[in-house]
């Protein structure tokens, strides 16, 4: 038991150190490389720093790094819950079609000329975020109603995927009918962006994360019990319908909110739960939830660091997350083949 306790403490130590290291690395790398020593001085609000450097760090890079932490952590929790609920290792936060719903709403803003409607102008400050959350919320309502009526999760998963496919097809039509400039704006949005949030938006994102995570935390018992299947879970006193709806709500808040501010970020929610389980080696969500938050934050910071490696421009974050995430997914499948022939 002592060996296991040491292993657990070691795992947490690794995760937290990794996060801190990547956080500082993300702050120091970029078009103007700033040494870590200076970063620390800036963060501790020392007065004797070049104000230009201070601005770069506090106004741009800090918000970006914090967004990485919040978005990465939030998507990871959403992905974990989806994988547990559907007992499918390939589920991610987008299986419910929420990102697709958000994308549809955003595309209506950017490419509204094609439809002949102008719903918002894209200059209205919170327009994109509001549209994305509305899109997600509508998909969530559809999934909520469906979840209340369906008995089993496999069907719910299929409905989610189909809703996602349907909304994506509408977006395709809009893209087809749009002008080049509008299309480009929309496509840029789909690349995902974690920079460019101001402190007000970060505050909202933080509330979203706290809300979604809070719901997930009170569902720990049910999440654990889902691993045994719904009959055993029910025999242990779990409210099947209630916990399913709570999981749905938490995932929607997290995925919808994050997509609203950062665009659809792929693969983080799917890959992080697997990576975290490698390290902490348990299926107990009491341990997994904090582990995936740290892991998701670290992963997105890492992807952001990679995205800034080319000096002259910044790579789109979704490209990097896919490059990291796809090998992880392949590895999951191969590992399953070996373990369960």
Q: Which residues of this protein are in contact with other proteins, per CB under 8 A? A: 87, 217-221, 224-225, 227-229, 231-232, 234-238, 282-284, 286, 339-340
Q: Which is nearer to other proteins, 46 or 281 (CB)?
A: 281
Phi first, then psi, for residue 233 (nearest 5°) are: -60, -45
Q: Which is nearer to other proteins, 118 or 228 (CB)?
A: 228
Residue 266 CB neighbour total at 10 angstroms: 22
Reference 292, options 4, 24, 93, 63; nearest CA is: 93
Q: Which is nearer to other proteins, 9 or 141 (CB)?
A: 9
Residue 204 CB neighbour total at 10 angstroms: 16
Reference 128, options 258, 261, 266; nearest CA is: 261
Least CB distance to other proteins at residue 217 (A) = 8
Q: Which is nearer to other proteins, 3 or 37 (CB)?
A: 3
Least CB distance to other proteins at residue 12 (A) = 17
Reference 264, options 193, 331, 330, 215; nearest CA is: 193
Phi first, then psi, for residue 2 (nearest 5°) are: -65, -40
Token pair of 105 as six digits: 């709403």
Least CB distance to other proteins at residue 149 (A) = 14
Q: Could you tell me if 94 and 269 are in contact, meaning their C-beta atoms sit under 8 angstroms apart?
A: yes
Question: Which position has the token pair 């500082």?
Answer: 24
Least CB distance to other proteins at residue 277 (A) = 8
Reference 111, options 191, 192, 169, 173; nearest CA is: 173
Least CB distance to other proteins at residue 328 (A) = 17
Q: Which is nearer to other proteins, 122 or 221 (CB)?
A: 221
**Cβ density class 66-92: b for 16+ within 10 Å, e for less:** bbbbbbbbbbbbbbbbbbbbbeeeebb
Least CB distance to other proteins at residue 256 (A) = 24
Q: Could you tell me if 324 and 303 are in contact, meaning their C-beta atoms sit under 8 angstroms apart?
A: yes
Q: Which is nearer to other proteins, 3 or 47 (CB)?
A: 3
Between the two ends of the chain, the Cα-to-Cα distance in Å is 32
Q: Which is nearer to other proteins, 99 or 224 (CB)?
A: 224
Question: For the purposes of burial, counting CB atoms within 10 Å of the CB of 53, is it exposed (0-12), middle (13-18) or buried (19 or more)?
Answer: middle
Q: Which is nearer to other proteins, 17 or 283 (CB)?
A: 283
Least CB distance to other proteins at residue 235 (A) = 5
Least CB distance to other proteins at residue 93 (A) = 21
Question: Which position has the token pair 């296991």?
Answer: 4
């Amino acid at each position: 038991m002592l060996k296991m306790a040491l292993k657990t403490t070691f795992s947490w130590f690794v995760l937290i150190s990794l996060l801190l290291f990547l956080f500082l690395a993300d702050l120091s790398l970029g078009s103007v490389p700033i040494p870590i020593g200076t970063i620390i001085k800036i963060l501790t609000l020392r007065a004797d720093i070049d104000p230009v450097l201070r601005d770069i760090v506090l106004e741009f890079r800090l918000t970006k790094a914090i967004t990485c932490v919040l978005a990465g952590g939030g998507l990871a929790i959403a992905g974990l819950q989806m994988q547990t609920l559907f007992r499918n290792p390939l589920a991610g936060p987008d299986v419910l079609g929420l990102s697709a719903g958000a994308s549809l709403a955003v595309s209506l803003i950017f490419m509204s000329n094609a439809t002949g409607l102008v719903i918002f102008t894209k200059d209205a400050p919170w327009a994109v975020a509001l549209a994305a959350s509305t899109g997600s919320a509508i998909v969530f309502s559809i999934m909520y109603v469906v979840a209340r009526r369906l008995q089993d999760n496999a069907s719910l998963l299929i409905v989610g995927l189909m809703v996602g496919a349907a909304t994506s097809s509408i977006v395709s039509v809009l893209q087809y009918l749009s002008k080049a400039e509008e299309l480009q704006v929309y496509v840029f949005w789909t690349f995902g962006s974690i920079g460019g949030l101001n402190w007000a938006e970060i505050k909202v994102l933080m509330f979203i994360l706290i809300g979604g995570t809070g719901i997930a935390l009170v569902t720990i018992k049910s999440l654990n019990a889902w691993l045994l299947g719904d009959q055993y879970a029910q025999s242990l006193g779990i409210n099947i319908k209630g916990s399913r709806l709570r999981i749905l709500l938490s995932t929607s808040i997290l995925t919808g909110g994050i997509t609203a501010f950062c665009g659809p970020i792929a693969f983080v929610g799917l890959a992080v739960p697997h990576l975290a389980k490698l390290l902490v080696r348990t299926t107990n969500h009491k341990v997994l939830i904090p582990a995936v938050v740290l892991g998701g934050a670290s992963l997105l910071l890492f992807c952001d660091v990679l995205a800034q490696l080319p000096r002259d421009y910044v790579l789109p974050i979704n490209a990097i997350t896919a490059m990291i995430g796809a090998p992880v997914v392949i590895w999951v499948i191969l590992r399953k083949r070996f373990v369960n022939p």
